[in-house]
Amino acid sequence: MNTNNGFSKILRELREQRNMTQKEVAEALGIERNSYGNYELGNRTPDKTMLIKLANFFDVSADYLLGRFETIQANDNRIPLLGSVPAGSPIEAIEEVEEYIDYYPHFVKHGELFGLRVTGDSMEPDIREGDIAIVEKQDFAESGDVAIVRVNGDDEVTVKKIKKTTAGIMLIPTNQDYDPLFFTNEQIESLPITIIGKVIEIRRRF
């Protein structure tokens, strides 16, 4: 793959902003220091897999690393990280803003976005503890979507895959050690069960 001339400079600036050496970054990525150093010198271009690793490590998009951010740089590309959402049994969500994180949506228009840090292991291997779920705020989800769901009114939330049936809604973990949660149409109204948003991306540090 080809990268533009700004890639090396952007990569170096991101590393320096974190006060890290090339050796430290290389060790975190599981590569040789010389291999990483060649990326910063422009002597070597990363393949798609390594580009994604670099983007995830520095908490930016691949487009940002490639210098494709000029047209959206004037906009506010920071979204709030609101706290934690469990991938396990529903527990109380933390909805205070912990920090703001950079998010460049690959030129796809989205609505209101926010981040949630995942705890628990019920969505492994797809979603792991410590991952940040990028969520588009909406009050609906289709079967097959991974969504943030509020259970029992305002008290509990969870992240699960959605399956809708004529009888109700099923919240499905991907970890087979956990059982699906099923709520009837009556429970959806009485508890209630509400969709907070749809997970559109998972950000993970390597």
160 annotated active-site = yes
Catalytic residue among 53, 84, 122, 161: 122
Among 124, 111, 181, 170, CA closest to 143: 170
Q: Which residue has the tokens 């628990």?
A: 120
| Integer Cα distance of 121 and 175 in angstroms | 7
Give the chain's largest Cα–Cα span: 62
Intra-chain end-to-end CA distance of the chain, in Å: 22
Catalytic residue among 160, 163, 164, 190: 160
| Integer Cα distance of 205 and 58 in angstroms | 8
H or E segment to which residue 181 belongs: strand 181-184
Bridge partners (DSSP) of residue 135 are 114, 199
Torsion of the alpha carbons at 117, 159, 123 and 206, rounded to the nearest 10 = -20
> 188 is written with which tokens?
């959806």
| Integer Cα distance of 38 and 31 in angstroms | 12
Would you name the residues annotated as active-site residues? Answer: 122, 160
